[in-house]
Amino acid sequence: MSPDPSFDLNLEGLRRALDLLDARKDSEGPRGGLPNVLPETGLGEAEALERLAPDVLGRAADLGASEAMAHMDPPTPWITWALALWNARLNQNLLHPATAPFARHAEACAVDWLTPFFGMNGGHMTPGSSVANLTALWAARDLRGVKTVVASSASHLSVRKAARILGLPYVEVGVDQGHRLDPAALPHDLSDACLVLTAGTTSVGAVDPLECCGRAAWTHIDAAWAGPLALSDQYRSVLSGVDQADSVAVSAHKMFFQPKESALVMFRETEAAHGAISFGGAYLAAPNIGVQGSYGAAATLLLATLLAWGREGVAARIERCMDNARRLQAFIAAHPDLECFPDGGTGVTVFRPAPDRTDAFRADLPQGLASSAIIGGDAWLRCVSANPNADMERIIAAIDKACRRTSA
Ligand SMILES: Cc1ncc(COP(=O)(O)O)c(C=O)c1O
């Protein structure tokens, strides 16, 4: 039987895929129209690509567009696209050292390069910070015997989810006006608790008082959003105290500009933490560490980006995002018709028209410029600085125009 060419390198097909990607903004052709049931006979790869391009490429937000500022999802550098293609071809499984000797090394290397910025001594990659938070809380429970999870009312829902999965009661603590955990509201006795502090809350980008590290049996810092600031000389101080944590979660698919799914969970005492969350299996040559079983080589994309840009290059892009946020905040603070939520200092700008007409105002803004956030029952708008290519002149002009139109 002759080999199936579907598994061969098809340069013509891949070049066409690149051409379609290149033309994505004006992707033409009929959209939708997918069969309701699995087709008995396939279209073939070339035809399937053409059929899907208008939907897959044409119906996706452009996260690197000049007015894109709505979410924590960044545009990704092209080097990661190249590595993603290699990964799909190789389909390495990092669970098995024999299939992925270099990819496993790449993960160890990326982790080794990044952990010193957080004062941690190791860790591993996860598909996101939800899983990183779960992994850290699992280690806290099984290594330190914690019996409750304590976090602020502004912490990410993944912390509550993790507590539920692990069967640990969740204790919610109040926040101050800027949405930072209020240390005075912490339970007196944290000797059998895991305290979760957030560095960059999802709604407003607030950083909890990290000096509370060490007050509980285990302190985990959820730095999904603000963690990458550790690489910037200018903004590192936002994370001051992070090195006192027992574990830290950071999403690389946020401000490290990685495609999903890419994040890290890091530990201060990695050997012990990994030991508590590892399983051996008859089919395994190395222990399976953490929540995932089989997992892919997202690490090679992160490593390639770090190698291509170096610390300075990563920091420069983060700083561009942060400068954009500062410009936006200065504009909003000076605008007589806009109200700004206290700045969390991590590039999330929350504002609304005063008096409140947020829904009409948002409808008047270009798509992808702002998302909505309900805070204390009130509707606010939220711009997140994850796009180094955001054009602040245009964004500020669009907000100003919406202000004038909706107040007229
Ligand atoms: C503070 C915080 N923690 C955790 C998460 C979950 O991260 P992921 O979406 O990578 O699972 C998010 C996501 O936005 C977040 O903002």
Q: What angle do CA 297, 298, 299 make, to 5 degrees?
A: 85
Name the band, by pLDDT with cuts 50, 70 and 90, for residue 408: low
| Residue identifier of the C-alpha nearest atom 7 of ligand 1 | 129
What is the structure's pLDDT at 49? 96
- Alpha helix stretches (DSSP H) within 115-213: 129-144, 157-166
Phi first, then psi, for residue 51 (nearest 5°) are -65, -40
With a cut of 90, say whether residue 29 has pLDDT above it.
no
CB 186 within 8 A of CB 215: yes
The pLDDT of 346-359, averaged and rounded, is 88
What amino acid is encoded at 127 in this protein? P
In testing the pocket of ligand 1, which one of 71, 125, 248, 251 has its CB within 8 Å of the most ligand atoms? 251
Q: What are the Cα distances from residue 304, in Å, to 77, 111, 189, 254?
A: 10, 13, 45, 16
Distance between CA atoms of residues 349 and 325, nearest Å? 7
- 376 CA to centre of ligand 1 in angstroms: 20
Distance between CA atoms of residues 149 and 141, nearest Å? 9
Atom number, ligand 1, closest to the C-alpha of residue 128:
10
The pLDDT of 326-343, averaged and rounded, is 95
| Residue identifier of the C-alpha nearest atom 14 of ligand 1 | 202
The pLDDT of 149-163, averaged and rounded, is 98
In testing the pocket of ligand 1, which one of 131, 133, 152, 156 has its CB within 8 Å of the most ligand atoms? 156
What is the structure's pLDDT at 383? 98
With a cut of 80, say whether residue 8 has pLDDT above it.
yes
What is the structure's pLDDT at 27? 59
DSSP per-residue string spanning 23-48: TGGG--S------SS--SS---HHHH
In testing the pocket of ligand 1, which one of 129, 198, 257, 264 has its CB within 8 Å of the most ligand atoms? 129
What is the structure's pLDDT at 43? 95
- 339 CA to centre of ligand 1 in angstroms: 26
Burial class (CB in 10 A: 0-12, 13-18, 19+), 42: exposed
What is the structure's pLDDT at 297? 97
- Name all residues whose Cβ lies below 6 A of ligand 1: 72, 128-130, 156, 158, 198, 200-202, 222, 224-225, 251, 263
Q: For the chain, list the domains and their CATH numbers.
A: 78-309 (3.40.640.10), 310-407 (3.90.1150.170)
Name the band, by pLDDT with cuts 50, 70 and 90, for residue 56: very high
What amino acid is encoded at 177 in this protein? Q
What average pLDDT is seen over the chain?
Answer: 95
Task: Choose between 117 and 378: higher pLDDT.
Answer: 117
The pLDDT of 329-341, averaged and rounded, is 95
Choose among 386, 396, 389: nearest CA to 327: 396
pLDDT digits (tens, 9 = 90+) for 276-295: 999 998 899 999 999 999 99
What is the structure's pLDDT at 358? 80
- 225 CA to centre of ligand 1 in angstroms: 7
pLDDT digits (tens, 9 = 90+) for 216-234: 999 999 999 999 999 999 9
Q: What are the Cα distances from residue 78, in Å, to 93, 219, 298, 299, 404?
A: 23, 36, 14, 15, 39
Distance between CA atoms of residues 172 and 155, nearest Å? 9
Name the band, by pLDDT with cuts 50, 70 and 90, for residue 354: confident
What is the structure's pLDDT at 357? 80
The residues, any chain, with a CB within 8 Å of residue 381's CB and separated by 6 or more, are: 350, 351, 352, 358, 361, 362, 365, 370, 371, 372, 373
Atom number, ligand 1, closest to the C-alpha of residue 253:
10
- 254 CA to centre of ligand 1 in angstroms: 9
With a cut of 90, say whether residue 31 has pLDDT above it.
no
